[in-house]
Structure 1
Amino acid sequence: MTGAEPQPTGPRILLYSDDRTVREQVRLAVGPRLRAHAPAIDWQEVATAAAVVKAADTERWDLVVLDGEADKAGGMGLARQLKNEIYECPPVLVLTGRAEDAWLASWSLADAVVPRPLDAVSVQGTVAGLLAGARA
């Protein structure tokens, strides 16, 4: 034995918003890892719909987080597109503008929805739950 055990890899999360402050809020809410001593989360942030589609089509993700309030291409439409076009699409979390938008997010085929204002406990719990389900 070499003693060099392969390090477990953390979850890979694709995070889309055209607003960098929203991306920062999500990352801060979730934290660098899901729990103490867990592997670090591998975040990839993108700011355009084209980047989301390309990344989802060419790489493996454990979770996709989409801003439903993004300009030009909102996360709800992107969620529906990914769910319809990506084979074995990973779980998708949509951030909505308000709690009352949950009915519209159901059309998007999102696996979960978190409304604004973003509550750190809710965001972290939802992300952890989706990732636990994806890895099961």
Structure 2
Amino acid sequence: MNQSLARRGIYTPLQILILSNNTETRRQIELALGRFSDARLGTPTLRAYATQPALMDEISSGKVDLIILDAETSPFGGMGVAKQLKDELLQRLPVVLIISRVADRWLASWSQADAVVMSPIDPVALREAVCALLQENLRN
């Protein structure tokens, strides 16, 4: 069972982490997510990080429902972070990867990201990807 779901009470807001060293990308993601259309998901708590070590510290707290990674984050690219999370964590946290080039889809597949959204960020596409993954976790 997903560790984050085991700790959830009925009124606990969803915890979504964002990794991007680009402040504009983080802002676009936060604006795009806004309020979810599915009442069961409520309004998520968003936490944005500019560095991979800060993100990993928060993940180790066990209070994470989904992670959004910017593939262009440096020095650790979002694809590498996604691969590390999928290979090394016991819990399988859903990962959405933001990519800038269509040619990077094969790397996104290699990284085992659960969903891929193109940049510039389409708010509808990002919200749909995030909601679908969160709804799937609620069913499990």
Q: Shorter-chain TM-score category?
A: 0.7 to 0.9
Q: What is the aligned partner in structure 1 of residue 17 from structure 2?
A: 14
Tell me by how many angstroms 1:120 deviates: 1.0
Q: Is the 8 A contact 1:17 1:66 kept in 2?
A: yes
Distance 1:69 1:83 in 2: 19
**Do structure 1's residue 66 and structure 2's residue 69 form an aligned pair?**
yes
Q: What is the aligned partner in structure 2 of residue 35 from structure 1?
A: 37
Q: What is the aligned partner in structure 2 of residue 46 from structure 1?
A: 49
CA deviation map 1:16-54 (0-9, x unaligned) = 1001111110111111x2127553211111110111111
Structure 1 gaps of 5+ residues are: 1-5
Runs of 4+ in structure 1 off by over 6 angstroms are none
Identity %: 37
Q: Is the 8 A contact 1:57 1:86 kept in 2?
A: no
Q: What is the aligned partner in structure 1 of residue 89 from structure 2?
A: 86
Q: Which has the larger radius of gyration?
A: 1
Per the normalisation by structure 2, the TM-score is 0.85
Distance 2:42 2:124 in 1: 20
Q: Provide the alpha-carbon RMSD of the alignment.
A: 1.6
| Partner amino acid, structure 2, of 1:81 | Q
Structure 2 gaps of 5+ residues are: 1-8
Aligned length: 130
